[in-house]
Chain A
Amino acid sequence: MSQSTSTQAADAPIISLHNVSKWYGQFQVLCAVDLDVRKGERVVVCGPSGSGKSTLIRCINRLEVHQEGRIFVKGLEMTDNVKNIDAIRRNIGMVFQNFNLFPHLTVLENLTLGPMLTRHMKKADAEDLAMHFLRKVRIPEQARKYPLQLSGGQQQRVAIARSLCMEPEIMLFDEPTSALDPEMIKEVLDTMIELAESGMTMIVVTHEMGFARTVADNVVFMADGRMVESAPPEEFFGNPREERTRTFLDQILKH
């Protein structure tokens, strides 16, 4: 395959979706979605619930399997080839709505598990790495605690640090603040903003329009499994082209 030779032009997309479709039984959740994300780009995906935005990013690291179309990450195609799946997943960190921390492991163990098992790091090195990222997300003092002893915001920051410990080039965020109490949303968004400033490639599914406005290079609006509109934030918020986008923005920004 020509794509596996990953000598690419500097501005070639690091993630590229062509014509991706997916069905749950009869119900089509993704309809021929196209999306290109370049290195260092920050994309925010928004849309009403059930619009397929979560499914879309979950297809990128194959937590869901797409049925039509092609997905490339760093020139590797996501097929059912286990080698490709492994290589792509190592390059992608994922943060979930419900954190999905491992409750039976301490924060530190949550962070070192991946590096030790899949990157074969020594325990001491993995712990150094973990402490480095815990300091980044500003909770190094919680390292010995168990996830359920932390607040929701702290747990989500641990989850971000856990993904970062795999030193990925791309981070996917699946509604990272939706399960949080309002007063904890900011601490997580701040962490994400810092991450964006460090040049990380990010795809973020979120309803936080403030975050989209300040951080995104590109805002994508999805509805009914289709990509309705994709534009830089000034344009997206200032002058949306599509009627559906306008209705959605009206609803979400009015309160």
Chain B
Amino acid sequence: MTTASSQTRLVTAAYDPLARMSAADWLKRNLFSSVWQTLLTLVTAAVLLRFFWFVLDWGVINAVWVTSDPDVCRAATGACWAVIVEKHRPMLFGLYPYDEHWRLVLMMVIYLVTVVVSLMPRNWNLRFLVPLWLVAAVSIGVLMFGGVLGLRYVPTSEWGGLPLTMLLFTGTVLFGMPVAVLLALGRRAPLPVARGVSVVFIEALRGVPLITILFVAVNVFPLFLPAGVQVDKLLRITIGIAIFFACYQAEVIRGGLQAIPRGQYEAAASLSLTYWQTTSRIILPQALRICLPAITNHIIAAMKNTSFVIIIGLFDILTATTAVMQDPLWRKFYVEAYLFVAAVYLFFGYALSLYARKVEKWIASGRI
């Protein structure tokens, strides 16, 4: 076996044109293959160089990095990164009481550690993960709310910034994924009523903008509840985003379910597994693996969608930054501030998609 495979590798290496291409060949093929291509390359390169030079000139050479005086920035011709240094606390933490910001830093550390640990395959064991998340949830709750252990109580209406974005995102995925699975199963169920309910629910919610759902969460949801029962606004909004997310994700998962051959159901039936045993042990594990790339796309979209809460006045990182940019002294430097926020989203989005690519590799190699 080993000799055979190493031989194959040798053979492919010998015939792989890319592997043997010299730098000159590569340049000729990809940049200067014809007069027209050469022209295109030169023009593009010129534009690109100009752009990079501008970025360098504006963003580095003439930039102001640290100052608490906006006039210093105004005098400079470059970027004013000082606005981020100066305003990073209201941008990152929103309305949360200034003296308690350390609690949010601690919360983010706990959160990130929990997430990173949970993403490693060797920790995929419910007996470890469930207690881990319980501990994380309780300690994050204690840190965020306070009111115990001598911590000052902070209501959810004062939560804000990046921690809020993280909580919204996590709540969306944790609550939305199971709903998505149920909706997808409902849409493929043998029972017509279950199919009908799922189809109407999914299609109706996919047909309207997220904002209208957030309006429902804020303005209509309280009307649904019996008198005297109240649900926190933050929770209502999280549920709204999560259900919206679930409807899109349900369609993705349905695609995965459709890809499972009939024989898998039949083999499970011949082992006399029940519907739920078949679904949870045989069908879903395969369906979710199949549509993992699409699932990740929607998870990343869910992270971007948390920014919609600006419309209903939750202070996530974007709302907080926009509020900070109302400051007449600093608002001229909005480009720098929004670039920073964009970079935060890009960072987390990129990290998620890198991780997803890794998971796909693990799946392909049979590791999970």
Contact = CB atoms under 8 A, between A and B. Distances in A.
Nearest to A103: B286
Contacts of A118: 271-273, 277
B366 A146 contact: yes
A117 interface: yes
B285 A104 contact: yes
A102 to B, nearest CB: 6
Contacts of A101: 267
Interface in B183-219: none
B220 to A, nearest CB: 42
B272 A102 contact: no
A238 to B, nearest CB: 35
A90 B272 contact: yes
B89 interface: no
Given A113-B281, A117-B281, A146-B366, A100 B266 contact: yes
B285 A117 contact: no
Interface of B: 261, 263-264, 266-267, 269-273, 277, 281-282, 285-286, 289, 366
B289 A86 contact: no
A248 to B, nearest CB: 27
A90 B273 CA distance: 10
A149 interface: yes
Interface in A96-122: 96, 98, 100-104, 113-114, 117-118
Contacts of A113: 271, 273, 281
A74 interface: no
A92 interface: yes
A90 B269 CA distance: 10
Contacts of A102: 264, 267, 282, 286
Interface of A: 61-63, 85-86, 89-90, 92-94, 96, 98, 100-104, 113-114, 117-118, 146, 149, 162-163, 166
A89 B289 contact: no
Contacts of B261: 98, 100
Interface of B is mostly: helix
A61 B270 contact: yes
Nearest to B278: A117
Given A113-B281, A146-B366, A149-B366, A104 B286 contact: yes
Contacts of B285: 104
11 contacts: A89-B271, A93-B270, A96-B263, A100-B261, A103-B286, A104-B286, A114-B271, A114-B273, A117-B281, A118-B272, A166-B271
Given A96-B263, A100-B261, 4 more contacts: A63-B269, A90-B272, A101-B267, A102-B267
A22 B232 CA distance: 58
Nearest to A101: B267
Contacts of A100: 261, 263-264, 266-267
B272 A89 contact: yes
Contacts of A103: 286
A63 to B, nearest CB: 5
5 nearest A-B pairs in the assembled complex, by CB-CB distance: A100-B267, A114-B271, A100-B263, A89-B272, A94-B270
A126 B259 CA distance: 30
B266 A89 contact: no
B273 A117 contact: yes
B270 A92 contact: yes
Contacts of A86: 272
Contacts of B286: 102-104
B125 to A, nearest CB: 15
Contact of A117 (B267, B277, B366): B277
A63 B271 contact: no
A94 B286 CA distance: 22
B60 to A, nearest CB: 50
A39 B152 CA distance: 77
